[in-house]
Chain A
Amino acid sequence: MSTTLLEARQLYCERDDRVLFSGLDLSVGSGDIVRIAGPNGAGKTTLLRVLAGLNLSFEGGLSWYGYPLHQQRDWYQANMLFLGHRAGITASLTPLENLRCWVDMRRPHREELLWEALADVGLEGYEDIPSAHLSAGQQRRVALARLYLSTEPVWLLDEAFTAIDQGAVKVLESLISSRAAQGGAVVLSTHHRLQLDECRVLELGGSLGFAT
């Protein structure tokens, strides 16, 4: 028995006169993991940005707990975590400062949690180095440290597995499934083959999106 958190009805979106998806229905409840699949250019990122409320050029309805999303934007944003292609890591700030700025915008926190989260993603000893000096994979890990601090029920992860090593991908998979088991909902796009049993796949690329 799961509650429906986020629901999309009859989504239609086009880009440069090309229809990316139309008549797309998607319902995400607590405990759900949805993988958006499809070839490059199929509209995976666009769909995730529509769901995040970033992209507003679409037709159709989005609802959050049954309320129209655009009326509940603050409430939704307090309960949604979006990780995009661009990690949102400021090069001149240290990983610790990056993480602190991000959490402070959202909720009160204890300082130890930030250190623990950075240790959790394997960045122990890198807390005070300017992020510009970190590798691409390490910068991605700083962004992923947000997942360890997150209380948000909904995660929207766009290509979250880019630039990180295979061991870390495995850990992320179990993080995601444990999150779903706790009642969270995860929508992600990736080209990795996930080892998740309870994962639904939404195939984009035709004119019709369907969930299996």
Chain B
Amino acid sequence: MQPESRTPVTLRESGDGLIRAGVTTFRRELLIAFREKQDVINPLVFFVLIVSLFPLGISPETEFLRDAGAGIIWVAALLAILLSLNMLFRNDYADGYLEQWVLSPQPLAMMALVRVSAVWVASVVPLLLLVPLLGLMLHLPAERIGVLTLTLLMGSPVLLLIGAIGAALTVSVRNSGMLLALLMTPFYVPVLIFGTGAVTAFGQGASITGHLAILGAMLALAIVLAPLAIAAGLRMSVANG
């Protein structure tokens, strides 16, 4: 080991390089997801299992599945996202990276948004790619699969962002998995109602712009407000550690 540091003591201005830090945060999340594949694959397998058990458990008839299919896929996706929430900050909290991340001279809310986006890309996008396949399995007509995918595309970021608030608040609590699910489910209900509502309305030949507008409003609100709450939650959790 060297007895001297190579870099001189320098008094720096407050945080620069927002884009550099954002890119780093994004890449790190993707890299970890790539290395720890089971964290990504477990919710996916769970998602496919739920959807494929419904026809066996209730009825494999085409008419039933065509009416219920969108709801089944939405609920399964919601549960899969709920399942992956617990891992969002857990490992980084346990090994101490989270406190280093909170202490970096960057706006924490922006970093939190970047991080949740990376998680969305790594674990929700594969799930969305499976939706057309599962839709076919449940005899959904092609146009309805299109609407279903669109609603999930708008709804899943909302689920993840709201869930991340809960994950940030409970990361320092031991065995918080069930607590997190209980806390988050009430907040997920409106997203579920308007998501499946759009597909049902489409099936009945009604207009879906109203449903999509409300989903879009929830998405916009979540993108703006959730990162602030996530940042505050993380600061509180790190303070307890």
Query: Chain A nearest CB: distance from B155 CB in Å?
Result: 30
Interface string of A56-99 (1 = CB under 8 A from B): 11000000000000001011011110101111111111000100
- State A93–B28 Cα separation when bound (angstroms): 9
B96 located at the interface, meaning its Cβ lies under 8 Å from any Cβ of chain A in the complex: yes
At the interface, is chain B mostly helix, strand, loop or mixed? Answer: loop
- State A175–B3 Cα separation when bound (angstroms): 5
Residue contact A148 to B96, C-beta cutoff 8 Å: no
- State A110–B9 Cα separation when bound (angstroms): 17
Q: A75-B13, A92-B35 are in contact. Are A150 and B5 (CB under 8 A)?
A: yes
Residue contact A178 to B96, C-beta cutoff 8 Å: no
A53 located at the interface, meaning its Cβ lies under 8 Å from any Cβ of chain B in the complex: yes
Contacting residues of chain A (102-138) with chain B, CB-CB under 8 angstroms: 102, 104-108, 113, 116-117, 120-122, 130
Q: A77-B15, A78-B15, A105-B24 are in contact. Are A90 and B5 (CB under 8 A)?
A: no
How many residues on the B side are at the interface (Cβ–Cβ under 8 A)? Answer: 46
Residue contact B20 to A108, C-beta cutoff 8 Å: yes
- State A172–B25 Cα separation when bound (angstroms): 30
How many residues on the A side are at the interface (Cβ–Cβ under 8 A)? Answer: 60
Residue contact B14 to A75, C-beta cutoff 8 Å: yes
Closest A residue to B236 by beta carbon equals A56
Point out the residues of chain B lying under 8 angstroms from A171, CB to CB.
1-3
Give the interface of B toward A (CB within 8 A).
Answer: 1-17, 20-21, 23-25, 28, 31-32, 35-36, 91-92, 94-97, 99-107, 235, 238-239, 241
